[in-house]
Amino acid sequence: MTKIIWMTDPHFQKEGLIGDLNPRTRLQAAIDHMNTHHADAAFLVLSGDLVGKNYMDDYAGIASALAQSKIPVYPLIGNNDDRASFRAHLPLPTDVADEFIQYRLATNDAQIPCLDTHMTGSHAGQFCETRRDWLKNALTDTPTYIFMHHPPMGLHLPQQDTIKLQDGSAFLDMISTGGNVRHIFIGHVHRPTSGTVRGIPFATLGALSFQAPAPQPAWDWDSFVPAREAPHYGVLYIVDGNVTLQYTQFCAYELGIET
Per CB under 5 A, residues contacting Fe ion are 9, 49
Minimum distance, C-beta of residue 49 to Fe ion, in the bound complex (Å): 3
Minimum distance, C-beta of residue 53 to Fe ion, in the bound complex (Å): 12
* Identity of the residue, 9 or 229, whose beta carbon is nearer to Fe ion in the bound complex: 9
What is the distance in angstroms between the CA of the first residue and the CA of the last residue of the chain?
A: 44
* Identity of the residue, 52 or 143, whose beta carbon is nearer to Fe ion in the bound complex: 52
| Sign for the pseudo-dihedral over CA of 15, 20, 22, 27 | negative
In the bound complex, which residue of the shown chain has the CB atom lying closest to Fe ion? 49
* Identity of the residue, 49 or 167, whose beta carbon is nearer to Fe ion in the bound complex: 49
| β-bridge mates for residue 246, sequence order | 235
CB atoms within 10 A of CB 244: 11
* Identity of the residue, 50 or 235, whose beta carbon is nearer to Fe ion in the bound complex: 50
**Residue ranges with strand state E in 170-231:** 181-186, 194-197, 200-204
Distance, CA of 102 to CA of 75 (rounded, Å): 9
Minimum distance, C-beta of residue 194 to Fe ion, in the bound complex (Å): 18
Minimum distance, C-beta of residue 256 to Fe ion, in the bound complex (Å): 16
Distance, CA of 189 to CA of 199 (rounded, Å): 21
